[in-house]
Amino acid sequence: MSIDRVVFFVAGLFIMLSLALGVQGSPIFHHEYWLWFTAFVGANLFQSSITGFCPMVIFLKMFGLKPGQAFG
């Protein structure tokens, strides 16, 4: 699995989980402040699309994952 796929998988997982925790209609609702985490992940995806830098990539390279097209 490439770094790109792991980054997109984790970002999607964090967004879905934080939405489930922050939206009142969800069966695992905790508090609406979880929506701030959704905004943080979205902002990080936005800035990484512009700059090409993602903090998670540093750690994934340490674990020996292969770079993909987006994060070289």
In the chain (72 residues long), the average pLDDT of successive 10-residue segments reads 94 98 96 97 95 93 91 77
Residues 6+ apart with CB under 8 A from 57: 3, 7, 71
Classified as helix, coil or strand, 20 is helix
pLDDT attached to residue 72:
72
pLDDT attached to residue 71:
82
Read off the pTM. 0.88
pLDDT attached to residue 26:
95
pLDDT attached to residue 15:
98
pLDDT attached to residue 18:
98
